[in-house]
Amino acid sequence: MSPTRPSPFERDIAGQPKALRAFAHADPRPVLAELTELGASGHDRIVLTGMGSSHDAALPTWRRLTSHGRAAWWTDTGQLLDTPGLVTDRTLLIATSQSGASGEVVSLLETDPRPATLVAVTNDVGSPLAAASDVVVPVHSGDEATVSTKSYLNSLAAHDLVAAALTRTALGDILAVAQAVEEFDGASALMPLAQEFITAANPRLAYVGFADHAATARYAGLITKEGAKVAAEGFIGGQFRHGPLELAGPGLVAVLFGSGDPGANSSLRRLGTDYIDIYHLHGFDALTPIEETQDTLNKFVREGKVRYIACSNFSGWHLMKSLAVADRYGWTRYVAHQVYYSLIGREYEWELMPLALDQKVGALVWSPLGWGRLTGKIRRGKPLPAESRLHKTAAQGPEVSDERLYKVVDALDAVAAETGKSVPQVALNWVLQRPSVSTVIMGARNEEQLRQNLAAEGWNLSSEQIARLDAASDVTPVYPYWHQRQFGDRNPPPVATEKSVDLSKLNNEKEPPRKAHAKTQR
Q: What would the pLDDT profile of 484-513 be if each residue is shown by its tens digit?
A: 888 888 888 888 765 443 433 333 433 333
Q: CA 187 to CA 207: how far, in whole Å?
A: 17
Do residue 380 and residue 506 come from a single domain?
no
Residue 134 lies in a domain: yes
Do residue 29 and residue 47 come from a single domain?
yes
How confident is residue 520, by pLDDT bands cut at 50, 70 and 90? very low
Residue 328 lies in a domain: no
Q: Of all residues in the chain, what percent carry a pLDDT higher than 90?
A: 49
Predicted confidence at residue 37, as pLDDT, reads 85
Do residue 43 and residue 63 come from a single domain?
yes
**pLDDT (tens digit, 9 = 90+) per residue, 312-321?**
999 999 999 9
Residue 520 lies in a domain: no
How confident is residue 261, by pLDDT bands cut at 50, 70 and 90? low
- Rounded mean pLDDT, 343-369: 95
Identify whether the C-beta of residue 436 lies closer than 8 Å to the C-beta of residue 363: yes
Do residue 357 and residue 434 come from a single domain?
yes
Do residue 161 and residue 19 come from a single domain?
yes
How confident is residue 522, by pLDDT bands cut at 50, 70 and 90? very low
Across the beta sheet with 204-209, the strand order is 232-236, 204-209, 252-257
According to DSSP, the β-strands at 437-441 and 362-366 are parallel
Do residue 240 and residue 154 come from a single domain?
no
Predicted confidence at residue 90, as pLDDT, reads 93
Partners of 205 in the beta sheet?
A: 232, 253
**Bigger pLDDT: 69 or 361?**
361
Do residue 35 and residue 172 come from a single domain?
yes
Across the beta sheet with 135-138, the strand order is 72-74, 45-50, 91-96, 117-122, 135-138
- Is the predicted pLDDT of residue 97 greater than 90, yes or no? yes
Do residue 224 and residue 358 come from a single domain?
no
**pLDDT (tens digit, 9 = 90+) per residue, 4-56?**
678 888 888 889 999 999 999 998 888 988 888 887 778 999 999 999 999 99
| Conformational region of residue 497, where left means phi above 0, alpha means psi within -120 to 50, and beta covers everything else | beta
- Is the predicted pLDDT of residue 337 greater than 90, yes or no? yes
Among residues 222, 257, 292, the one where a domain terminates is 257
Residue 333 lies in a domain: no
Number of domains in the chain: 4
Residue 93 lies in a domain: yes
- Rounded mean pLDDT, 114-138: 94
Predicted confidence at residue 257, as pLDDT, reads 80
Residue 315 lies in a domain: no
Do residue 384 and residue 422 come from a single domain?
yes
Identify whether the C-beta of residue 248 lies closer than 8 Å to the C-beta of residue 199: no
- Is the predicted pLDDT of residue 171 greater than 50, yes or no? yes
**pLDDT (tens digit, 9 = 90+) per residue, 180-230?**
888 887 666 677 777 777 777 777 788 888 888 889 899 988 888 887 788
Predicted confidence at residue 514, as pLDDT, reads 30
Predicted confidence at residue 252, as pLDDT, reads 78
Predicted confidence at residue 108, as pLDDT, reads 94
Do residue 357 and residue 414 come from a single domain?
yes
Q: Mean pLDDT for the chain? A: 85
How confident is residue 74, by pLDDT bands cut at 50, 70 and 90? very high
Predicted confidence at residue 515, as pLDDT, reads 31
- Is the predicted pLDDT of residue 1 greater than 60, yes or no? no
Q: Of all residues in the chain, what percent carry a pLDDT higher than 70?
A: 88
How confident is residue 519, by pLDDT bands cut at 50, 70 and 90? very low
Partners of 378 in the beta sheet?
A: none
Q: What is the DSSP string of 137-182?
A: EE------SSSSSHHHHHHHHHHHHHHHHHHT-PPP-HHHHHHHHH
Residue 84 lies in a domain: yes
Identify whether the C-beta of residue 362 lies closer than 8 Å to the C-beta of residue 343: no
Residue 102 lies in a domain: yes
- Is the predicted pLDDT of residue 467 greater than 70, yes or no? yes
Predicted confidence at residue 360, as pLDDT, reads 95
| Residues of the domain holding 105 | 8-183
pTM tops 0.95, yes or no: no
Do residue 35 and residue 151 come from a single domain?
yes
Q: What is the CATH number of the domain that holds 95?
A: 3.40.50.10490
Do residue 130 and residue 200 come from a single domain?
no
